[in-house]
């Protein structure tokens, strides 16, 4: 399985497809931070919400790089659909970590973070919340990208529809007035939790929500992959 992960990551990088999501993240985040300074937690919360879409798209690109025949050969080589599916998801998570690192470093390069004022939480708290937010939303982003991949949707237009619809639902369902927000990952909720002081119940709730949604989406992805293998 490790060899399959390496092969997928190598194909993603060597074909140049890794450049587009990374450049998109740099452009979007540069525009975000160029609009003015904000507290670390608030800035990172918005950054994580924006990157959710980019990371989901990157996952789709990574999983779509591999030709269908090669994917079937990989399924046989690793000894089952479960290991092949896991290899793809792990590859997507690993590919997302450099993008998250860029998002965590960029605001300091462009001066998008301001020093805490009186009554604001310490800088270390904002940074910790930012790391939490980016890593938490990386997981549902990978799950959404996998659900929109060619191996599941079979058609490019259908995959794009799933990706865009999922991203829009994450925003719309995340509004405070929406009655059943748990139908989408906690993108907007995570952004709100990072503002101000640490609120442990809210952090625990958002974490449980994100992990539960990811588990459900991954289970749906695995089921669909097995029916289309």
Tokens standing for residue 14? 């060597």
Q: What CA–CA distance (Å, rounded) separates 147 from 153? A: 8
How many domains, in total, are found in the chain?
A: 1
* Amino acid 14: pLDDT: 87
* Amino acid 69: pLDDT: 57
Q: What CA–CA distance (Å, rounded) separates 96 from 3? A: 19
Q: What CA–CA distance (Å, rounded) separates 91 from 86? A: 8
Range(s) of the domain holding residue 214: 2-228
Backbone φ and ψ of 38, nearest 5°? -150, 165
* Amino acid 4: pLDDT: 79
Each residue's pLDDT expressed in tens, for the chain with a length of 229 residues: 787 788 888 888 988 889 999 999 999 998 888 767 788 888 899 999 999 999 999 999 999 887 665 566 555 555 666 777 888 899 999 999 999 999 999 988 888 788 777 777 888 898 999 999 999 999 999 999 999 998 899 888 899 999 999 999 998 888 777 778 888 999 999 999 998 788 889 999 999 999 999 999 999 999 998 786 5
* Amino acid 229: pLDDT: 57
* Amino acid 121: pLDDT: 80
Give Dmax (Cα) for the chain: 60
* Amino acid 6: pLDDT: 84
* Amino acid 204: pLDDT: 95
Torsion 103-143-19-87 (CA) sign: positive
* Amino acid 139: pLDDT: 97
pTM assigned to the model? 0.91
* Amino acid 76: pLDDT: 55
How many helices (H) and strands (E) would you count in the chain? 10, 0
């Amino acid at each position: 399985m490790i060899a399959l992960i390496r092969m997928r990551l190598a194909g993603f990088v060597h074909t140049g497809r890794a450049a587009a999501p990374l450049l998109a993240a740099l452009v979007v985040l540069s525009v975000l931070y160029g609009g003015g300074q904000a507290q670390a937690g608030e800035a990172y919360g918005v950054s994580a919400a924006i990157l959710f879409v980019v990371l989901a798209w990157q996952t789709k690109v990574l999983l779509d790089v591999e030709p269908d025949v090669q994917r079937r050969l990989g399924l046989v080589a690793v000894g089952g659909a479960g290991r092949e599916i896991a290899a793809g998801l792990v590859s997507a998570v690993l590919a997302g970590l450099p993008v998250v690192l860029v998002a965590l470093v960029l605001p300091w390069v462009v001066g998008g973070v301001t020093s805490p004022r009186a009554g604001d939480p310490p800088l270390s708290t904002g940074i910790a919340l930012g790391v939490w937010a980016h890593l938490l939303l990386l997981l549902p982003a990978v799950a959404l990208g996998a659900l929109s991949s060619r191996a599941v949707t079979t058609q490019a237009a259908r995959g794009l529809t799933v990706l865009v619809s999922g991203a829009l639902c994450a925003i719309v369902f995340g509004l405070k007035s929406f009655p059943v927000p748990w139908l989408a990952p906690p993108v907007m909720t995570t952004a709100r939790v990072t503002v101000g002081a640490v609120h442990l119940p809210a952090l625990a709730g958002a974490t449980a929500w994100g992990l539960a949604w990811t588990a459900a989406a991954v289970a749906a992805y695995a089921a669909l992959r097995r029916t289309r293998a």
